[in-house]
Amino acid sequence: GQGSRHVAVDLGASSGRVALGTVQGGRLSVEILHRFPNGGVPVRGGLYWDVLGLWREILHGLRLASGRGPVASVGVNSWAVDYGLLDDGGELLGGVHHYRSARLGGVMERVRARLGDGTIYGATGIQFLPFNTLYQLAAEPPERLARARTLLMVPDLLHFWLCGARVTERTNASTTQLFEPRTGEWAPSLLEALNLPTHFLPPIALPGTDLGELSPEVVRETGLHGTRVIAPATHDTASAVAAVPAAAGETGWAYVSSGTWSLVGVETPGPVLTDAACAANLTNEAGVNGTTRLLKNVMGLWIVQECRRAWGNPDFAALYEGAGNVPAGGPLIDPDDARFLPPGLDMPARVQASCAQTGQPVPRTPAEIVRCVLESLAHRTADVLEQLEAVQGQPIRTVHVVGGGAQNGLLNRRVADLSGRTVVAGPVEATLMGNLLVQAEASGSVPRGSVREVVRASGALTTFPPGGPVPAGERERFRELTVRRRADEV
């Protein structure tokens, strides 16, 4: 037979893809049909996503898919926390703000002061990050919220355009800091305490929910017939974690979902809302099958991406090769310093200023700057692994690095060396695979609970044992550098 065919749309902060997945004989093959760039669009001091442009690219990708034969289902995943507001008639009310928009300056601090950290964390178990949906809603003009009938997260909005469903898928809802991880329902009390409306929060649907058939208009535009829209784990990180190639019964593993962000975490059977988890500012996001993703956002390859943009987009491969020739033991930054969050062509200068202010040699060449960033990310990853171990009370021996960043051999090696743990890298396409396999599971084309097994059967992994050079006192040098910010763990 032909196997069962599904289409995944994976929207990342810097690029999007439409991919065709075919499941046959317990294996998944993934063919990327269409790639397109993505990024923030600065307008009048704001920063927005080009959702209409993304929609056009999705339609184009679906048209390509229809040329290959019948498709059982399609599902969209993206980054988290951002949303569109719809009016009664389903019209989009204004732009979709980017989570790195300057509109959020000072908002989280005000909300935390008003509600108290214990109340917010106790209700949601979510890491305090300035761009959480809770703070974005607190930054909205009240008239806009009053006019809004439905809030949809970015993948939900695209599903709505595909098939008309007005629901929020659970994994992405869980990132908002408006979601109760124990009950799986919204936590409207936080909005109420801020005197904000809650009427626009839609019903929550589980990953794997059949949302309906493509609208007649989309059928006309794409040529797809009989294709269902099935919600995957719409949060990209949740799709990636669903596809971590851990073996059945494997214990003592953590994951890094490596891309624009590094999401460093473990999978737990339920939320961990202890004082220790709160003090470590760990997030409890929803995973597939009722699991919890206990993790922390680490700034990730964003700093390198933004430096590269400033340097006129040279080849990533050349940048990383150059960085590999720079010796270890050079200057370090605290990658989670808030100064690195906003976009800007001054990113290399920010890295340099940080090194200068901490009395270290200033990296000059792109190779030196990239090495400094990668080395610092590896240190920070090692720190978070230690925090996760302490909070969970269980040793972590293996680190599964998945996503685009898993191609970065230098970063993988340094995470292994600096954390003293074995890194298993791959798959690079974990997000697409997780998205596709949750659809396949829901449509019955792979057995329930077999997603990780199918991923393991579908491609080779690369192992990086620890043991490379770690100059004496190196870990302490990084800790020293980050101690002031870590007191607040944001």
Give the relative orientation of helices 347-357 and 366-392 as an angle to the nearest 10 degrees: 70
Confirm whether 236 is a catalytic residue. yes
Nearest distance from C-beta of residue 435 to ligand LFR, angstroms:
13
Q: Residue 268 — φ and ψ, nearest 5°? A: -125, 155
Q: Is 229 helix (H, G, I), strand (E, B) or coil?
A: strand
Q: Is 52 helix (H, G, I), strand (E, B) or coil?
A: helix
Q: Which residues of 97-114 are buried (b: 16+ CB within 10 A; e: fewer)?
A: bbbbbeebeebbeebbee
The upper half-sphere exposure of residue 347, i.e. CA atoms within 13 Å in the direction of its Cβ, equals 24
With CA atoms as reference, report the closest residue to 15 among 309, 334, 433. 309
Output 6 or 296, the one with its CB closest to ligand LFR: 296
Strand order in the sheet with 253-258: 283-286, 292-298, 262-268, 253-258, 398-402, 422-425, 462-464
Output 301 or 355, the one with its CB closest to ligand LFR: 301
- Residues 331, 354: Cα–Cα separation, whole Å: 10
Nearest distance from C-beta of residue 169 to ligand LFR, angstroms:
13
Output 28 or 81, the one with its CB closest to ligand LFR: 81
| Interface residues toward ligand LFR, by CB under 6 A | 12, 79-81, 99, 235-237, 259-261, 263, 297
Output 7 or 154, the one with its CB closest to ligand LFR: 154
Structure token pair of residue 264: 């460093």
Nearest distance from C-beta of residue 113 to ligand LFR, angstroms:
23
Nearest distance from C-beta of residue 100 to ligand LFR, angstroms:
9
Catalytic residue (one of 82, 156, 236, 383): 236
Nearest distance from C-beta of residue 25 to ligand LFR, angstroms:
31
Using left for φ > 0, alpha for ψ between -120 and 50, and beta otherwise, residue 303 falls in alpha
Q: Catalytic residue positions?
A: 236
